[in-house]
Structure 1
Amino acid sequence: MPHVREHTLDGTRGPIAVREWPHPAPRYLALVVHGYGEHAGRYDGLAAVLNAHGAAVYGPDHVGHGRSAGERVVIEDFEDVVTDVHGAADLARSAHPGLPLVLVGHSMGGLIAARYAQRHGAELNALVLSGPVIGAWELPGRLLALPEIPDVPVSPAALSRDPAVGAAYAADPLVWHGPMRRPTLEAFVRTLETVEKSGDVGGLPLLWLHGDDDRLVPLPGSRTGVERLSGGRLTRRIFAGARHEVFHETEPDRAAAFAEVRRFLDRTLPGRPPNGPCGTAG
């Protein structure tokens, strides 16, 4: 497991915890944007792959998530979360000025990353979306139509075909194991509409990864959003039988997802990858 440093930033609604997986001489920066109810610490595996590929990796815990301040899983405005993520990017750039910046967003983090790219795309060199909440996502509307939000947490089995992933998720004290919150659902609806109306990301290279058995963020609805967001430089990889978290899937899909990210970055980032196994597409 890679070495980790912890930082605290002044966020829009209180202190934000930022996890750093440092690199002694990085050639680029990677910013990991986690999903609903979880935290950046669940991305140690992805961070290790990106470290080996030459990245200094940073990951904020969003307001109300993980080690950050705020009422649990309550997000009243995703624009504030984008601003917090931008603060984490500033932290990374201040430590390593002039390096290319890659944004990797998973699930809810994909929505945040998409909005970030619309607001700050000129600062990015590449965008990676994994199982992104974007496009036609029907769950918030269905839940908001009910008089009370059901007390039903995310099913660990929906994350991956690997039982160990679900078991670790269920036992993680920093993961939210309760129901979705009405303010957050309302913010999802507003931000999905905002992303839809705010145009594409132009020439920003975009990699989209998704499992075709994703029952939390179904593939067809996400596809419409990703294709609308892309300005034409879209690379996609759909994994047959995979569930919501392709970076935590069973082998060989997990390794294939990591390899797709490395190949995509080798094609899109300035300069050539370093010699040796760390720079191979895998």
Structure 2
Amino acid sequence: MPFFDGARGRMHYRRWPVENSVATVLLLPGMGQHSGHYHRFARTMKAADIETWALDTSGQGLSEGDHRNPGTLAELVADALMLFDIAPQPPLILMGHSLGAVTALSMFGAAEPESGDGPSDATALARSYPLRPAIAADALTGMVLSGVPKRALGGGTPNAAGTPLPRNLPILAVHGVEDRRAPIDAVRVWTQRHESVDLREYADAGHDLLHEPVHARVAADIADWMQGVVVGLARRP
């Protein structure tokens, strides 16, 4: 089984290889989830010639750590960067669900809270939210965000802390209309601030889209979008 040595212990990741793949998706699961929950999704990606790599968040799955405390966003970004460093050459697509989506945005320094929702002190904010990009804008071909919590969706407002998302990075946001953990209104507002984001809404669906009755349609939509990214047909500003 594949592991790498992280700053807080051994980290496990899972890979579903695809011969002659057109792209690789790096998947960051949500809180309480791990790579073993994504076999079904990986099969859909494989049918689209997309290879899947998924990280076990610290303390989840086979990764070492405290399952009750996955770490700070800075630590989560550091773990994701290690997976990024050993992944295949581009085209790479970063995907995150819930906490994983916050981590994905944080890799670009773009996971800031709305004004008044985060720490009021600038130093405390910088400790809680990485405000500078950890990867180059051209390191990814696209990004997929699922069930993003409101606390990470302040980016794009005038004079907001952090770093704006790269304008030329295609982004797909998938969200359940009945999501109670991360209500959809916040991501709707956030999408309006970012021309490169394509929001797909799923009626009668909640927070964990890839494990709900709509999972097959969501996975197929993501696969189609990823294929479009690779050939340059995905939404761009």
TM range (shorter): 0.7 to 0.9
Distance apart, 1:245 and its partner CA:
1.4
1:258 aligns with 2:219: yes
2: distance between equivalents of 1:266 and 1:21? 17
1: distance between equivalents of 2:55 and 2:73? 14
Change (3 A) 1:39 1:258: same
**Amino acid aligned to 2:227:** D
Question: Of 231, 240, 265, which aligns to 2:203?
Answer: 240
2: distance between equivalents of 1:136 and 1:60? 21
Task: Please say which of residues 117-126 and 52-61 is displaced more in the overlay.
Answer: 117-126
2: distance between equivalents of 1:44 and 1:204? 27
SS in 2 for 1:75: coil
Q: Does the CA-based 8 Å contact 1:210-1:244 persist in structure 2?
A: yes
2: distance between equivalents of 1:134 and 1:125? 25
Question: Of 8, 11, 14, which aligns to 1:16?
Answer: 11
1: distance between equivalents of 2:209 and 2:49? 21
SS in 2 for 1:243: coil
Please list the CA deviations of residues 183-215 of structure 1 after superposition, one character each: whole Å capped at 9, or x if unmatched.
xxxxxxxxxxxx963322321000011111111
Change (3 A) 1:226 1:133: farther
Distance apart, 1:12 and its partner CA:
1.9
Q: Does the CA-based 8 Å contact 2:9-2:65 persist in structure 1?
A: yes
Superposed, which structure 2 residues align to 1:91-240 within 5 Å? 91-93=86-88, 97=89, 99-118=90-109, 119=133, 120=135, 121-135=137-151, 197-228=162-193, 230=194, 232-240=195-203
SS in 1 for 2:182: coil
TM-score (norm 2): 0.78
Distance apart, 1:8 and its partner CA:
0.6
Distance apart, 1:226 and its partner CA:
4.7
1: distance between equivalents of 2:191 and 2:57? 22
2: distance between equivalents of 1:227 and 1:12? 37
1: distance between equivalents of 2:189 and 2:103? 17
Number of residue pairs matched by the alignment: 202
Distance apart, 1:14 and its partner CA:
1.1
1:51 aligns with 2:46: yes
Distance apart, 1:262 and its partner CA:
2.1
Task: Please say which of residues 18-27 and 208-217 is displaced more in the overlay.
Answer: 18-27
TM-score (norm 1): 0.66
**Amino acid aligned to 2:196:** R
Distance apart, 1:227 and its partner CA:
4.6
SS in 2 for 1:197: coil
SS in 1 for 2:87: helix
Q: Does the CA-based 8 Å contact 2:191-2:199 persist in structure 1?
A: no
Change (3 A) 1:221 1:108: same
1: distance between equivalents of 2:77 and 2:191? 18
Q: Does the CA-based 8 Å contact 1:135-1:225 persist in structure 2?
A: no
Residue of structure 2 equivalent to 1:165 = none
Structure ID, larger Rg: 1
Identity percentage of aligned residues: 28
Distance apart, 1:242 and its partner CA:
0.5
SS in 2 for 1:29: strand
Q: Does the CA-based 8 Å contact 2:169-2:196 persist in structure 1?
A: yes
Structure 2 unaligned runs (5+)?
110-132, 154-159
